[in-house]
Structure 1
Amino acid sequence: MGDLDTASPAALTGDDTRGSCTDDPTLAALIGALSEKGVKVRVLDRARHPGAGGPAVHTVYVECELGGTLYWGTGVGANDAVALCKGVASAIGRAHPA
Structure 2
Amino acid sequence: PGWGSYLLMIVVLAFSFSTMFSYSYYGTKCTNFLFGAHRAHYYNYLFLATLIMGAVIPLTAVVDIIDIAYAFMAFCTVFTMIKLSPLVKKAIKQYFRK
Higher relative contact order (CA 8 A, sep 6+): 1
Larger radius of gyration: 2
- The alignment's TM-score, normalised by the length of structure 1, stands at 0.27
Greater fraction strand:
1
Greater fraction helix:
2
- The alignment's TM-score, normalised by the length of structure 2, stands at 0.27
